[in-house]
Amino acid sequence: MNPSIRSRVIASTTAFVLGFVIANYGILRVPGRDRWLWFAVAIVLMVTSVIGVLIADSRRKVSMWAVLGMEMLAIFTLLPLLWTFTLATSAETVTTQSLLPTDVQWSVFRDVLGSDSIRHAAITSALVSLIATAVSMLLAVPAAYALVRRQVRARRLVYVFLLAVLLAPLVALAGPFGDQLRTFGVFGSRYVLVVPTLMLTLPLATWLCVTLMRDLPWSLRDSVRADGATRGQTFRAFALPMVVPGLLAVTLITFIAACNDAVIGATLTGGDESRTLPATLLLAADQLEQPSAAIAATGLLWLVPAVLVLLAVPRRTIRLLGRTY
């Protein structure tokens, strides 16, 4: 038995055992329509195992472990989404017990989109994150360029500080910062949030830019210049294809990180007017009619722009943070 056959057989066995366990759990413990969901997963796993055994001896270049891994990944990503959807669309105010939605009510989405407080919070989030991201990128790009390409004393120390700030708990920094804001009498304004958000976005953006610039093929720039390129041509031949997509990716990641932060929005804001979206969700549990449904619905709606962005951006951008060749 060669290693590839053995590996496939073991993977198939694993898939089968998993499927078997899930099927039995579904039959014995899961009531109602959810049982069919368990069955579906079990069937997929068992079919995988059968295919694995059938192709075990073939020359096909398929790793059964990879297939199994993909299936597990799909299950673990899709199930929470499904659960969120069910929560959002269930009519009852009580938390629903079943995974599959029983009676889909779309009204909650309309409510959320129509809700002034949520719309206001979303605008706050977007504004604060946009400004913070823009400022961070403006500072991070030259900083990263200098760190990577120029002689910088104590470069390592700078990196250590960057990472330290990145890893530091924001909650610990937020308290003292709030006191400062009160002293200056600007506590409660939504634009003030930009400053603490920079604490999160600036090191993140700088670190990502450093990673990006380190991997750039700089000798390519030299070679383009040696070929006799003008400034404009060097930009078009080197910066545009090599750097700009990467910077776009960094900007998006930074923006999303800023959007997702709940700590600053929750601790440094006085009233509803200046709260960010995550903070609003965090604190809104008992303010809305259908607390859990509304939160779940907002979460789902939140996903839409992220997915749109990922689909709109060229594939190379997503790949670019890793390899250049």
Question: At its nearest, how many Å lie between other proteins and the CB of residue 137?
Answer: 23
SS3 assignment for 110-176:
HHHHHCHHHHHHHHHHHHHHHHHHHHHHHHHHHHHHHHHHCCCCCHHHHHHHHHHHHHCCHHHHHHH
User: Could you say whether residue 314 binds other proteins (CB under 8 A)?
Assistant: no
Question: At its nearest, how many Å lie between other proteins and the CB of residue 303?
Answer: 31
Candidates 150, 154, 176, 232; binder of other proteins (CB under 8 A) is 150
Question: What's 57's DSSP letter?
Answer: T
How remote is the C-alpha of 203 from its chain's centroid? Answer: 18
Specify burial of residue 295 (Cβ count, 10 A radius: 0-12, 13-18, 19+): buried
User: Could you say whether residue 6 binds other proteins (CB under 8 A)?
Assistant: no
Question: What's 261's DSSP letter?
Answer: -
Size of the site for other proteins (CB under 8 A): 21
Q: Answer for the pair 260, 125: CB distance below 8 angstroms, yes or no.
A: no
Question: What's 63's DSSP letter?
Answer: -
**x/- site string to other proteins, residues 210 to 249, per CB under 8 A?**
-------x-xx-xxxxxxxxx--x---x---xx-------
Q: Which is nearer to other proteins, 31 or 228 (CB)?
A: 228
Distance (Å, rounded) from C-alpha 205 to C-alpha 249? 10
Q: Which is nearer to other proteins, 237 or 256 (CB)?
A: 237
Question: At its nearest, how many Å lie between other proteins and the CB of residue 228?
Answer: 4
Question: At its nearest, how many Å lie between other proteins and the CB of residue 219?
Answer: 4
Q: Which is nearer to other proteins, 119 or 319 (CB)?
A: 319
Site residues for other proteins per CB under 8 A: 150-151, 217, 219-220, 222-230, 233, 237, 241-242, 316, 324-325
